[in-house]
Amino acid sequence: MPSLSGQWRSLADAADRDALAARAAVEFPQLAAALQAPTERRRVLRLMAAAMTLAGLGGCDDGEPGGVLIPPVRPAPATVTRSDSYYATASVLSGYATGVLVRHDVGRPIKVEGNPTHPASLGATDAIAQAEILGFYDPDRQAPIALDGVPQDWQTLQSALAAQREQLVRTHGKGLRVLTGTVTSPTIARQIGELRQRYPEMRWHRWEPVSRDAARAGALLAYGKPVEIVPDLGTADVILAIDSDLLESAPGHVRFARDVASRRNPTRTAQMNRIYAVEPTPTLVGVAADHRFIAGPRALQDATVALAEAVLTGATPSGGPPWLGPVAADLQAHKGRAFIHIGPQQPAELHALVHAANEALGGRGSTYRLIEPVEADPVDQAASLRELATDIDEGQVETLIVIDSNPVFAAPATLGLAEAVRRVPFSLAVTMEPNETSRVTRWALPQLHPYEDWSDTRAFDGTVTIQQPQAQPLFEGISAHRLLGMLLEFDAVGSLEQVQQTWRDTKADWHEALSSGLIAGTVANVSDAKLRPESARLVPPALPEQQTTLLFRPDPHLWDGRFANNAWLQELPRPLTKLTWDNPLLISPEIGRRLQVGNGDHVLVNIGKAELELPVWIMPGQARDCVVGLFGFGRNVVGRVGEGAGYNLYQLTGYAGEPLLRKGKGGVRLASTEHHDPLLATNADFARHGNLAHFQQEPRFLADDEATPSLYRYPPPGPAAWGMSIDLNSCIGCNACVVACMAENNIPVVGRDEVLREREMHWLRIDRYYEGSADDPNVVFQPVLCMHCEQAPCEVVCPVGATVHDREGLNVMVYNRCIGTRFCSNNCPYKVRRFNFYAFSRNEHRPAVARNPEVTVRGRGVMEKCTFCLQRIAAARITADIENRPVGGNEVRTACQAACPTQAFTFGNMAQSEADVLARKQSPLSYALLSDQNTRPRVTYEARIVNPNPALGARQA
């Protein structure tokens, strides 16, 4: 018999007529009487429904419940309490660190954020750091310890290493070779030092597929000893970037992007900087530049020599391209406030010349500083690898230890390393996931992920971060520290002890170092190296006159190929081509015309003994005499995601001479998103931009007209009003925000075929617009996400009310209501809605534990789109409720906002006067995308302003 207390334990319980009658007798006497009377069924049901409704309303009317609620001291079994926390570590790319904080939710790593106190991060990250969380959960990392492909146990490995140790002690390490990438870790450096002491005949080889040898050698030529350069771009009024990787991959690039962007918006800075870029193929700094000059390899070399000469002598350049004189004059007019950066692909002599020019411009100590090398024992890495290959060929290598490197895949084809490594009697590779090198070494050891182990690493300025593990190892593995220790002794201590040993005798405060993510006072010493006078006279060997030069660059997302099994990075549209899952040869429009090929058509490339047939992509703004191959694709042994995607361009490396290009047969469809989600409007000026001079005369020349008074009445404002402003002056198109949004919001990847069907799921995309001719276009990036329109066209066409407006201005998706008509997407002028054609998340290559538990995983047939990171808003609301105050104006940071290196996004609660976003929306540059649609979006933009040199006339690119 149910109780009469007003509580019920199940629907069946509540439906019991007697119980209901008894309850009604207490609460609603008339209803009880009616229930006692004999009635027909429909009337009973009607009355029951009314009773339920009244009971609910009665509850509302009762005011606050009396008494004090007391939570259980011990939660009920199986209750999972939310407890997010952050642990500092670092994201390391080719040896150099960017400090990050990893967010844990219910005890597992969920999301990467930048570390605000770390000099290389300042709170932001790049796309690769954001995607590292997916790499951590990658099931393809799971691999056994293996000898000749046969799984082995730990004891067998220890015995084998013990036998090697005995032999090495006898021979003083003769025949021992250790191969690593660039090392900045003080602990690895210390351990290798100890190895060298024990085995004086051993050799340590260092090699990275994406070489910085020219930068190293250039510094050596200029200063006579190894030094590194640390730009301070916030102080530079004029920046010249020569084939530069400053904003995309140079050590410190996340920081540099912040510094450059801090001087780009004339409403936020007293003086805009001016950027010139000279380059053979478009880069991010080239897109950000006020003047971009296209120069093929030979022209670029000549121009750099002439420019350096002009800066060094103060003379006006004679000859050369017409921009040379004005650029040299501008640099000279800003002595002490100018800086020249040259990319690592340019020869060492040009680096030395640029060092000399920078010294002449007086920027040392203001726009840049020279420091002692951050990397341990720098060497010429190409020579180091060649030496290893030669020694193997000559039978001098008995023991080869490869640590987290993949030379069999990425070394120049001419070295023939795959065959060479097979001939080494004892070869061992420790790698994060099975790869081409561990496939041919005798021993293959799985390596612990950086989130599973202790280590230390240094940033571009030398700052040390202790990398602390974020979780227990997901899979069996060994760390580099342990392995190096085991080359010395049987009972080698683990990584924690190794790292602590390095820092034990220093003043470093261990706890402070772990909690802050850096060790104070570890910035590299400023170098007192003096410029060698002869460096100002260095000229690189003249490049041969040739119709076509083959250049190589790392893929912006897969880098040298080490991230090829990361689906987020594979499917992330490349900043300029918007290509996913592929790396066609980038050719200039001119070469496309000459060969009569278009995007996706095959060409045959011959260079030296190598021949490769691959598709092409016509890259607007690329020099007419060069083609560019991107590394990172074409992996054979990497895991289920990356295997077979794209082409291995390393096959073409190591050969000198001119490549022969011929039109091939047929072609392929390339999965580029550049034509997806087009905006349609008559005033097709989506990404607005203009000149500083025009802005100074008429600041509002790009802003929206005053809003026309509306006859409609809008709902009263709620307790908060969420809004966003995106600064097109800042956005460099780096894609960090896109991956951050994927990680935060459980956005699935769909695979190459579905991208070809325009079904990619990114909630945030970076539109890239070209203007002008394909040979020399202007480029503008524009991040586009759900605009959260106050007059949302999607809401009025949804037949089931699945997309609705809330009182805080959010355009909300109710997934459970969505029946998949897609009318909303049809009616959205911004094309930001994404439809789950299949259960994409179910087919994904990531385990459920890798998802953000705060966000729903959407099923098949459901529409989804940006929520302004509603879960973050909800968390702030709860905190504010507990503290009995409104949510602050700047309290919520969306995932995209937090990740952005240039702080392009400003988000907040516009109901609070301190909200930064209010100020941004007052900017004279503020405008709404497709404002003529009268959708009243909560997302607005600040138009882009460029600062061209009046001596060069209108903006060149």
DSSP 237-290: SEEEEES--TTTTSTTHHHHHHHHHTTT-TTT-SS--EEEEEESS--HHHHH-S
From the CB of 853, what's the least distance to ligand SF4, in Å?
Answer: 16
Q: Min. distance of Cβ 741 from ligand SF4 in angstroms?
A: 3
CA 72 to chain centre: 43
Shortest reach from residue 450's CB to ligand SF4, in Å? 23
The H-or-E segment that residue 482 falls in is helix 480-486
Q: Residue 131 or residue 403: which is nearer to ligand SF4 going by CB?
A: 131
Helices (H), 361-416: 381-393, 407-410
Classify strands 426-431 and 443-446 as parallel, antiparallel or unpaired. Answer: parallel
Q: Min. distance of Cβ 904 from ligand SF4 in angstroms?
A: 4
* Residue 421 DSSP SS3: helix
Q: Please, what is the minimum distance in Å from the beta carbon of residue 192 to ligand SF4?
A: 37
Q: How far is the CB of 799 from ligand SF4 (least distance, A)?
A: 25
Instruction: Choose between 671 and 732: whose C-beta lies nearer to ligand SF4.
Output: 732
Q: How far is the CB of 877 from ligand SF4 (least distance, A)?
A: 16
CB nearer to ligand SF4: give 204 or 563: 563
Burial of 876 (0-12, 13-18, 19+ CB in 10 A): middle
Minimum distance from residue 215 beta carbon to ligand SF4 (Å):
24
CB of 842 to ligand SF4, least distance (A): 21
Residue closer to ligand SF4 by CB (options 276, 868) is 868
Residue 565, token pair as written in the block: 């099994």
The one-letter amino acid code at 196 reads R
Nearest approach, Cβ of residue 411 and ligand SF4 (Å): 32
Of 330 and 744, the one with the shorter C-beta distance to ligand SF4 is: 744
Q: Which helix (H) or strand (E) holds 360?
A: helix 348-360
Query: Between 230 and 866, whose beta carbon lies closer to ligand SF4?
Result: 866
- 184-220 core/surface letters (b: 16 or more CB in 10 A; e: else): bbbbbbbbbeebbebbeebbbbbbbbbbbbbbbbbbb
User: Is 604 exposed, middle or buried, given 0-12, 13-18 or 19+ CB atoms closer than 10 A?
Assistant: middle
Decide whether 449 or 578 has the Cβ nearer to ligand SF4. Answer: 578
In angstroms, give the least distance from the CB of 189 to ligand SF4: 33
Contact 337, 236 (CB under 8 A): yes
Residue 287 or 448: the one with the smaller Cβ distance to ligand SF4 is 287
List contacts with ligand SF4 (CB under 6 A): 731-737, 740-741, 744-745, 763-764, 766, 783, 785, 866-869, 894-896, 899-902, 904
Question: Closer CB to ligand SF4, residue 220 or residue 904?
Answer: 904
DSSP 764: S
Shortest distance in whole angstroms from residue 724 CB to ligand SF4: 7
If the CB atoms of residues 672 and 949 are measured against ligand SF4, the closer one turns out to be: 672
Q: Which is nearer to ligand SF4, 206 or 768 (CB)?
A: 768
Which residues make Cβ contacts (< 8 Å) with residue 240, sequence separation at least 6?
Answer: 275, 276, 277, 278, 307, 327, 331, 338, 339, 340, 341
State the Cα–Cα distance between residues 924 and 906, nearest whole angstrom: 16
CA-wise closest residue to 734 among 558, 901, 578 = 901
Closest to 855 (Cα-Cα) out of 870, 836, 877, 875: 870
Cβ-contact 641, 565 below 8 angstroms? yes
Smallest gap from residue 597 Cβ to ligand SF4 (A): 30
Closer to ligand SF4 at the Cβ: 535 or 735? 735
- Shortest distance in whole angstroms from residue 886 CB to ligand SF4: 20
**Using an 8 Å Cβ cutoff, are 859 and 836 in contact?**
yes
Cβ–Cβ < 8 Å for 858, 747: no
- Which residue lies nearer to ligand SF4 by CB, 426 or 763? 763
* Nearest partner of 786 among 812, 754, 822, judged by Cα: 812
Please, what is the Cα angle at 266 between 341 and 888, to 5 degrees? 110
Residue 502 is classified by DSSP as H
3-state secondary structure 99-155: EEEEEEECCEEEEEEECCCCCCCCCCCCHHHHHHHHHHCCHHHCCCCEECCEECCHH
Closest to ligand SF4 by CB, 118 vs 369, is 118
- Yes or no: say if 811 and 786 are a contact pair by the CB < 8 Å rule: yes
Pair 810, 872: CB distance under 8 Å: no
Compare residues 476 and 674 and give the one whose CB is closer to ligand SF4: 674
**Residue with smaller CB distance to ligand SF4, 355 or 762:** 762
Residue 251: left if φ>0, alpha if ψ -120 to 50, beta else—which one? beta
Q: Which residues, at least 6 apart from 10, have a Cβ–Cβ distance to it below 8 Å?
A: none
Q: CB nearer to ligand SF4: give 264 or 351.
A: 264
The 3-state secondary structure of 433-481 reads: CCCHHHHHCCEEEEECCHHHCCEEEEECCCCEEEECCCCCCCCCCECHH
For residues 327 and 828, which CB has a smaller minimum distance to ligand SF4 in the complex? Answer: 828
Task: Give least dist CB 199 to ligand SF4, A.
Answer: 46
Give me the least distance between CB of 668 and ligand SF4, in Å please: 28
Distance of CA 516 to the CA centre of its chain: 22
Tokens encoding 60:
């509302």
The contacts of residue 849 (CB under 8 Å, 6+ apart) are 108, 137
Instruction: Kindly state the smallest distance separating residue 816's Cβ from ligand SF4, in Å.
Output: 19
Work out how close the CB of 891 gets to ligand SF4 at its nearest, in angstroms, rounded to a whole number: 15
Alpha-carbon torsion, ordered 713, 785, 776, 126, to 10 deg: 140
